[in-house]
Structure 1
């Protein structure tokens, strides 16, 4: 387990709040079954130019704490005295989007079973269920090129993403971005649910696809079913309360 280290006097209040929110998110992902050994990443950009927080390579999501998160610059240099390394496969992809997309405050990448399954079939996500209809026309796709450790793949990732902020990496998994961490969280949760339901549906037979006109109405009206406070804020807060009933060590 990670050794608890509390906020030092040199750290700004804003950074500590970002660390706590991100650490809570790692614990929420683990609680929801979205861990992948010591791999996969959730990153949050700080106000400082080019700095962002990433999980320490070697810790399971269930071990991440606010103080153990690693602060790095956009070139991958550590900006704190963390004893942990950073996974290059996570740095290359996340730094690329944090560098070029001002609205990509939080980036999440996972290898969930359902996410990888749907990203590995022709046609990807289909508008065959409630949650999938949320994303119709809003998902980018990127061909699998192997583990993402080569900088030169970046141009193609950006080109394929375009103006979208949700991507299925073919044969690989889920990638979502948000202007806030809760916004990215609710995108990931909804996309994961869409993928789970599609996998279940396709196991029973040919899925019923929703008409494009109905999808348009659905997307138009979605905002009326949201709780005030910003996209995903109430949802994420509810999940953090559940995590706190299990373990509060992420706050350290």
Structure 2
């Protein structure tokens, strides 16, 4: 791993930067990015409420550990950086980070399949094993327009409650977790569930839902289910893959 040159930076912050840069690049690898217009944020370990977010204008596959911008809850830079951030883009993230101590990482994307499912009246359906993870801890937020006003932040946080997965109607997907690997895995699973649902629905054939008792059992054990997802188990392999296909994220 490349080491940072800023001696004032903690080892924990550098590790968070490396993992967050890797997360950005993996989102790009799967084609889930939307040019420069979505965000993944992570809280910097420590007592301050400081966060890392992408430099505005950089493509997701270009993000590096050192280029991530450190901001406060209001999106103000707390360390000098050559890069700016998209303050409008940080609004959703700041709302979630502020309301949820456990939301150390927040991923918000506009994938084609995620937006498509968000526009379906029934939303995400229990058509696949993959869908059970998000359905165990899923919330919805109604569309209110492009820019988030302070009132909407309050409603978004209320809608999110203590869930880890959110579908923003007509807009996209959001996951949060207390670490970057889990937030990424949650998004991977929810995105897959959306892709599978749309493929199944596109056949026009009658669909079989997972039986309600199974779904209710999963929901009753929501915390254990999401905790056992195993983002940390998959993450070292994800980093090895990145080192093969798009190295340099840890610079």
Contact 1:7/1:67 (<8 A) preserved: no
CA RMSD of the aligned region, Å? 2.5
Structure 1 unaligned blocks of 5 or more? none
The number of aligned residues is 248
Tell which deviates more after alignment, 218-227 or 5-14: 218-227
Q: SS in structure 2 opposite 1:27?
A: helix
Q: TM-score if structure 2 supplies the norm length?
A: 0.91
- Taking structure 1 as the reference length, what is the TM-score of the superposition? 0.91
The runs of at least 4 aligned residues of structure 1 exceeding 6 Å deviation read 219-228
Give 1:214 shift: 2.3
Deviation per residue, 1:50-80 (Å, 9 max, x gap): 1000001100001100000000011211011
Q: Is residue 78 of structure 2 the alignment partner of residue 79 of structure 1?
A: yes
Shift of 1:220: 7.6
What is the aligned partner in structure 1 of residue 142 from structure 2?
143
C-alpha distance in 1, partners of 2:221/2:76?
44
| 1:181 is aligned to 2:174 | no
Contact kept? 1:43, 1:53, Cα under 8 Å: yes
Quote the residue 2:25 is aligned against: 27
| 1:152 Cα deviation from its structure 2 partner | 2.4
Q: Is the 8 A contact 1:50 1:74 kept in 2?
A: yes
Match of 1:115 in 2: 114
* Counterpart residue number, 1:204: 203
Task: Give the direction of change, closer, same or farther, for the CA distance of 1:68–1:200 in structure 2 (3 Å limit).
Answer: same
CA distance in 2, matches of 1:76, 1:136: 31
Partner Cα distance (2:70, 2:165) in 1: 25
Unaligned residue ranges in structure 2 (runs of 5+): none
Q: Quick check: 2:64–2:250 contact (8 Å CA) kept in 1?
A: yes
Taking the TM superposition and a 5 Å limit, the aligned residue runs for 1:1-252 are 6-46=4-44, 47-205=46-204, 206-217=206-217, 231-252=230-251
Q: Deviations over 1:4-41 (max 9, x none)?
A: 99431221111111111111111111111111101111
